[in-house]
Amino acid sequence: MEHDLNAKQTVCRIIDQSRDKLAQLTSEMVRFPSTFGQEEDIQQYIADRLEKMGAEVDFWYPDIEQMRKHPGFCSDRTDFSTSPNVCGVFKGSGDGKSLILNGHVDVVPPGNEDDWSDSPWSGKITQDRVWGRGSTDMKGGLACNFIALEAIWAAGLTLKGDILFQTVMDEECGGMGTLAQIVRGYRADGVLIPECMKNNVVIATIGSAWVRLTVPGRGALLSNAEAGASAIEKSAYIFNRLNEFERERTQRLAHPLLSHVKTPFKINVGTIKAGNWPSAVPDQSVMEIRYGMSPLQTVDEAKAEFEDYIDKISQGDPWLKDHRPQIEWLGCCWHPCSIDPNHPLVRLVADNHRDVTGEDAVVCGAAGGADNGSYARFLNIPAILYGPGEISVGHQANEYIEIDKMMDATKVIASTILDWCGYSSNP
Amino acid sequence: MEHDLNAKQTVCRIIDQSRDKLAQLTSEMVRFPSTFGQEEDIQQYIADRLEKMGAEVDFWYPDIEQMRKHPGFCSDRTDFSTSPNVCGVFKGSGDGKSLILNGHVDVVPPGNEDDWSDSPWSGKITQDRVWGRGSTDMKGGLACNFIALEAIWAAGLTLKGDILFQTVMDEECGGMGTLAQIVRGYRADGVLIPECMKNNVVIATIGSAWVRLTVPGRGALLSNAEAGASAIEKSAYIFNRLNEFERERTQRLAHPLLSHVKTPFKINVGTIKAGNWPSAVPDQSVMEIRYGMSPLQTVDEAKAEFEDYIDKISQGDPWLKDHRPQIEWLGCCWHPCSIDPNHPLVRLVADNHRDVTGEDAVVCGAAGGADNGSYARFLNIPAILYGPGEISVGHQANEYIEIDKMMDATKVIASTILDWCGYSSNP
């Protein structure tokens, strides 16, 4: 135990001295405009850095045909020809637990650049923050992974378990980057993802999928309106009933780790388009919906429940019972998941958070999906989200990350790596 | 009276002999595909025929700048360069009441031609019907006007009052053709329009206008959905409240001549478009609505009532009260109107209908707008809709008109012309 404290203290001291390096690395990564399909340059940069750190680096362009065979494949992509994946393996000396450090390099588009007070790709460092698109979500977190590991090496420690340093594309568009890591065969005993979770220990996330509802009506001229059936009226009916469904599911599928969220499994009718002439009864309506799922259910269960509900409410309407809405599940799908709060990896992260910050860790869930779900669903590996920055700052103009929070996260990650993988001092 | 009966009998006998001519003329006019902006050829054909019948023919392309100055102008058109209007004036011998015979030459598009068992422009004559787009709405009625007048000439009668034989464009798109007749200065003591009204005497029609409601929301990511306001949710609220408004207006604005119509002043949400991403709270919704108006109100009153109602329901919603929907009245507008059922012209048409068909006329209103509203609103001239065919057949595939019904209408129109304008036998 004395030994542990000394090693962690040494590593944390090195991290304290790496503050500029941490900010600088974040800034450098922000300067890559790595939006959808533009991930090559940053992945090359990362692969080079991992190689210099001593990793065996796997840099590859996932084969879409191979990917399609996996049950988790859901994407509108036709190839990954400009979206490579990276996995740097640091082999341990043996007899330790292995850990995946995962982070995504893709970022959402900057939106209207006029809303930014500086270039979205500036990577500027001012006010103890690093600024720019992706700083919070999640190049800041990715930098923590790097500096944590580099500090361990600099302290002259050797890990017993393997570290798999994964940087993935496509997290913002469906998680095919992480799925590609799984398809590639990478496995470990646990996963840490420094997503922007305010340094909370997030061990439950909701699932979600997109679904398109095509609601049939019957067109008619207004002089003969009674002969028609308004697809907009039927959509309003469905909309109101989906609100009831959402309320009922909020109760029935409540998860203790999501009790702080008002509507965790939101059913969001995001788009609607119906009719083409003000003077005709609209004959079709199309709604696109983001459907949230509880960690208490699987994607398949949740989808079946949605389909059953549409069936039930259609039965209750004189028109819809004979003219069923068409249900199509679209591209993306995030898997709900949760980890036992008493799992050793959860306890380690929480304890190290308390030791580093002096405050009890908040162990909770989050009402959004991330790459952790795929590890839980397809490999049954516990994947914890723990990282600096907050979601309300990501995806916005003038995105930034606080360097102090990154420093805390880096120390917690480094300490957790030591505890989980085990280590020895270099001779 | 003896004299009247003899003249009418003679004219009706001539009409009986003109059955083929009536069908043929309808067929010829159907063969002109006179959709929006394609009215030149048929108008030239009609002008030639009117000239041969002895009319002083005015064939003109309305000047949009002059039209715009009229309070009744409401159209998205930028010109009438391929949409001429025609008025053929048959001067009476004097001391008689004048009559406008109005009919529109424009037709709605045929829609999907696969739904037609023959070409929409075939004008085929089979099964005692004339087939094709516009046969019912309203080239059949227009042919009745021609044959009625030609029979009067053939009977050697001279009318005392003037006949203004108007053929107009744009009825299907807002009624700018009839407004152009008004702007051109044409006036008369009464108007007959042989619209497809099943040979009912239609003396009240609803008004209608198009209105666009832009409903503001506030966009938000679903991880922070509480910060947003769904424009689709607000639209569903407005949709439901508009249904209540429709029910209340059906009661309050009930018109005795429209009591056979379930929802005469329909508020039809014909289109809706909102949101652009399933995973975001939609920040705007646009609905386009056809708003029906009672003959008990003017367009201005009805529009003010709609605006007040939107104001009232916005007050009742925590979001809308501070984020008002934007209201835009669009292009077209049809004026509601009604005529005293005891007006002499109404009695004449009804009596002649009874005499010709042996059945009492149905004197009623219709839940649709037509060109009659402009005469009522801007000239205070009684305009009656009386013509063969039915609205449920117009605007559909395989549109047709029954020749028997055209024959009846032609006799009623001819008899009414004689009664209204007065006549003398040629020396």
Mean pLDDT for the stretch of residues B171-180: 92
Q: What angle do CA B110, B115, B120 make, to 5 degrees?
A: 40
Nearest CB to A272; choose among B210, B270, B272: B272
Cα–Cα distances in angstroms (integers) from residue B146 to residues B3, B193, B242, in the given order: 24, 12, 44
Q: What is the mean pLDDT of chain A?
A: 95
CB contact under 8 A, B271 and A290: no
CB contact under 8 A, A232 and B239: yes
Q: Which domains does chain B have, with CATH numbers?
A: 2-205+336-425 (3.40.630.10), 207-334 (3.30.70.360)
Cα–Cα distances in angstroms (integers) from residue A193 to residues A167, A344, B258, B345, in the given order: 10, 16, 69, 85
CB contact under 8 A, B282 and A270: yes
Preceding omega of B138 cis (within 30 degrees of 0): yes
Residue A274 forms contact with B (CB below 8 Å): yes
- Band the pLDDT of A214: cuts 50, 70, 90: very high
Active site residue B171: yes
Q: What is the residue type of B70?
A: H
Neighbours of A213 (CB within 10 A): 21
> Which A residues 365-384 touch B at CB under 8 Å?
366-368
H-run or E-run covering B286:
strand B284-293
Mean pLDDT for the stretch of residues A188-203: 97
Active site residue B402: no
Q: Which of B324, B330, B310 lies closest to B239 in space, CA to CA?
A: B310
**Confidence (pLDDT) at A286:** 98
**φ, ψ (nearest 5 deg) of residue B404:** -55, -45
**Confidence (pLDDT) at B222:** 84
Report percent pLDDT > 70 for chain A: 98
Gap between the Cα atoms of A383 and A373, Å rounded: 8
**Confidence (pLDDT) at B224:** 77
- Band the pLDDT of A39: cuts 50, 70, 90: very high
- Band the pLDDT of A57: cuts 50, 70, 90: very high
CB contact under 8 A, B236 and A233: no
Mean pLDDT for the stretch of residues B32-55: 97
**Confidence (pLDDT) at B2:** 44
Minimal Cα–Cα distance from A216 to chain B, Å? 14
> Which B residues 293-332 touch A at CB under 8 Å?
330
- Band the pLDDT of A223: cuts 50, 70, 90: confident
